[in-house]
Amino acid sequence: MKTIKYALSCLLLSASLNSYANVSCDDLSEMATDLDQIAEALTQVEVIHEDDELDQVLGQLVDALQIIADAENTDRFYRHVDRFTSAYNDMDSDRFEGTLDDIIAYMDKMYVRDCE
């Protein structure tokens, strides 16, 4: 849980920038690393209970990913975030892993596109 909370706080700090144009390549790399840590931590969680600490943290992650999706403004990334949001609403920990993998892969491509 500490890993998820730490990674989320880093992600939220990075995502709270005023606009996507202000996100540096280092910020984008850090966000992807944070998501990797969250994905790894989620593999160790069997059940997500409504209103528990993990549920609240993941709700904040949904909000942060929506900010990134709005800034990126592509149908593909919106679909990934929508699937993640659906997994969150259903409290389906198995679907979190797959959708986070898709989001991480997309963010890696964003990094290559914008930073290399």
| Buried-exposed string 6-25: b where 16+ CB fall within 10 A, e elsewhere | ebbebbbebbeeeebeebee
Share of the chain above pLDDT 90, in %: 11
CA torsion 54-59-65-69 (nearest 10°) is 160
Whole-angstrom distance, CA of residue 59 vs CA of residue 87 = 11
Angle at 115 between CA 36 and CA 3, to 5 degrees: 20
Overall number of domains in the chain:
1
The whole domain housing 34 covers 2-115
Per-residue pLDDT tens over the stretch 79-113: 999 999 998 888 877 787 889 889 989 988 888 88
Q: How many CB atoms sit inside 10 A of residue 77's CB? A: 21
Per-residue pLDDT tens over the stretch 33-69: 778 877 777 777 777 778 877 777 778 888 878 888 8
